[in-house]
Amino acid sequence: MRLTVLGCGDAFGSGGRLHTCFHVAGDGTGFLIDCGASALIAMRRFGVDPNGIDTVFLTHLHGDHFGGLPWLILDGQLVSRRTAPLTIVGPPGIRERLPAAMEVLFPGSSTAERAFAVEVREIAAGEPATVGGVGVEAFAVEHPSGAPAHALRLAHAGRVLTYTGDTQWVDALIPAGRGADLMIAEGYTVARPVRFHLDWATLNRNLPEIAPRRLMLTHMSPEMIAHPADGYIAAEDGLVLEL
């Protein structure tokens, strides 16, 4: 599998970085992990075909993590002329939040006729599923967004990819990330605790038990962006990793 970082910024664009979005391609499928508001811009910039995205997996329902969906759907309808179904997988609440967001941004868009189906599937923590050939398991984390927030463990083509989403430290991150080929983790600050966000010092203390093969930090504040990367890959927009 090949992972492309389409966005790794925090909600405020620290360092000029785009909102959270990761594209994974491999074995005849393509999927996104989160789809922040700038996701479609990133796809154009980094050469990712929106029509090649079969599934979008969401960690939580903040705009910098799911706010790009209205543009992705409208692009399929009006620009890219999509015909293949698009599946949105997210925490309970996404089935109502997505059309509400579309109506706020583009009135009438949620009920417009399209040449492709949009299937919205809600998953709960502790209930593994397979969607589009990708195994997904959600783990409950701590990050209020008006709906449950999850870390995601994804398995495809013999590889395991974990993403913490945004969260303060919770013990559920240990089984979520244990032995993953790549663990993508929020690293908002170096050591300064910020409620509902993860700092590098806390994560680092728990890494021996998680033992991912590789670790990439994302969603970094300015202080974390300036911190020398030691023991992890520092995410950058456009970065490509082979899994």
Active-site residue list: 64
Q: Which spans in 129-183 are helix H?
A: 173-177
Q: Crossing angle, helix 69-78 and helix 94-105, to 10 degrees?
A: 70
Q: How far apart are CA 129 and CA 100, in angstroms?
A: 26
Residue 46 Ramachandran class (φ > 0 left, ψ -120 to 50 alpha, else beta) = alpha
CA distance 82 to 243: 28
Element (H, E) at 138: strand 134-140
Q: Where do the H-state alpha helices sit in 47-87?
A: 63-66, 69-78
The one-letter amino acid code at 152 reads L
What H or E segment, with its residue span, contains residue 224?
A: helix 222-225
* C-alpha dihedral (10, 16, 18, 23), degrees to nearest 10: -100
